[in-house]
Chains A and B, each alone.
Chain A
């Protein structure tokens, strides 16, 4: 279970999160939607302890992340897998070394066993015969799949997705959505995704939450969100330039 309670965060005087609250139950798939620069990534990074809140608490499985030291945090992180927006593969390592990185560091398995697991995880995300390739030789969609294979290599309980479909063509984006659903069904993980791709959000979410002006302004099932009367949420999900949402730096 993940809970963000009244989380505040600002960078160089600019408030990004202003009392954000979010609760994710075990096994649930929550998608946080919000415009570019709304602080979605910042929110996600708080969940895995990459950022610390200025005020407020982040609780993962009844542990308050601000109350534990580096070693404790690393233990908690072993429960997580995270897929980054740009996949964030280690470009100095081969694909299988990327996938097996966590295993190499945190288990006593031999390289041959790690490679075997990596190949299996790659197959799960639909990739074969790429284990010896360098990440720079892969396409965007393939990189995301490798990133996902790396995220699931340690068999995590929680998967975090940072804009999983951004920058992909519609067909590849849908294939990634299918993979996210498959991961959830096969691995029984809790997942938190952030996106501004509504098609993806409707497809993968049990619950959609909207982040606006640093707070979660709405939360509900995809159907509830679709039928919302909140003008801000309505404008966002319909993708309309006209409405109450003020685009930063743009004059209407």
Chain B
């Protein structure tokens, strides 16, 4: 009975542990190729466009409404004990420390992570990755490194936009809809916000960018089977990346914001 239970648990965790191991091997390979010329400059810019610039519209909408709802909820809540003056700092701190990096990462994962897994997965099942190798081109260097680098660079960049737009959304609701004075909102925004809040948030964004890109590339790169395999890789990329972001967020926050 006990042996069966251990066997069952073993079988259950074998897959994820193997997955983590293989992601680490891929990560090592990425690091190895990252600093070896020729650098895939054109490819990197293309991926920065795909992952970063093209995600901008969804990121903007998410940011502005998150800032707005944050202001709305904190204003109506804080009003009960007369602390509505603190709405500005609540919005600013929440956006820079937490919601900016996490929401941007989740949105970009849903959009670009799925696209990366689907594209690489299709390339795998249609033998395009094998074709790259036969043309003496290392597929990790050609396909994974540019995506990894773009994810790591573009996510903090998008997070800066999210932080700013979120604070503007909060300003709109607090100042224009609820009539709090503009000076009071801005003063509470700046008074309690420290530079560390911003850059620790950006460090988190960097980590999220690297991890979603790596997980999505891994899922796509090792796709098996046909269309169904590509579908599974895409779903897997979004689920595993999102979980990684949310779980690592806690530990990174605990470490960074002591």
Measured CB to CB, the residues of A under 8 A from B are 45, 48-50, 70, 74-75, 77-78, 80-82, 84-86, 88-91, 101-102, 105-106, 150, 154, 160
Contact = CB atoms under 8 A, between A and B. Distances in A.
A75 B131 contact: no
A193 to B, nearest CB: 15
20 contacts: A48-B134, A49-B133, A50-B134, A77-B133, A77-B135, A81-B134, A82-B134, A84-B127, A85-B127, A86-B126, A88-B126, A88-B127, A88-B130, A90-B123, A90-B128, A91-B122, A101-B135, A102-B136, A105-B135, A150-B135
B253 interface: no
Contacts of A74: 136-138
Contact of B134 (A80, A86, A89): A80
Given A84-B127, A90-B128, 18 more contacts: A45-B130, A48-B134, A50-B133, A77-B133, A77-B134, A82-B134, A86-B126, A88-B127, A88-B131, A89-B131, A90-B123, A91-B128, A102-B136, A105-B135, A106-B136, A150-B135, A154-B135, A160-B134
B142 to A, nearest CB: 8
Contacts, number: 51
List 8 tightest A-B contacts by C-beta distance, closest first. A88-B127, A88-B131, A74-B136, A77-B136, A82-B134, A102-B135, A84-B127, A88-B128
B219 to A, nearest CB: 19
B137 to A, nearest CB: 6
Contact of B137 (A89, A91, A105): A105
A90 B101 CA distance: 34
A55 B187 CA distance: 72
Contacts of B122: 91
Contacts of B128: 88-91
A105 B138 CA distance: 11
Contacts of A85: 127
A96 to B, nearest CB: 15
A78 B131 contact: no
A105 B134 contact: no
Interface string B116-153: 00000011001110110111111000000000000000
Most buried by A among B122, B130, B135, B137: B135
A101 B131 CA distance: 11
B131 A105 contact: no
A222 B128 CA distance: 33
Contacts of A80: 134
Nearest to B131: A88
Contacts of B131: 82, 84, 88-90
A50 B124 CA distance: 13
A91 to B, nearest CB: 7
Contacts of A82: 131, 134
A50 B137 CA distance: 12
Contacts of A89: 128, 131
Contacts of B134: 48, 50, 77, 80-82, 160
B220 to A, nearest CB: 14
B136 A50 contact: no
Contacts of A150: 135
A86 B136 contact: no
Contacts of A91: 122, 126, 128
A75 B126 contact: no
B11 to A, nearest CB: 15
Most buried by A among B122, B133, B134: B134
Contacts of B133: 48-50, 77
Nearest to A80: B134
Contacts of B130: 45, 50, 84, 88
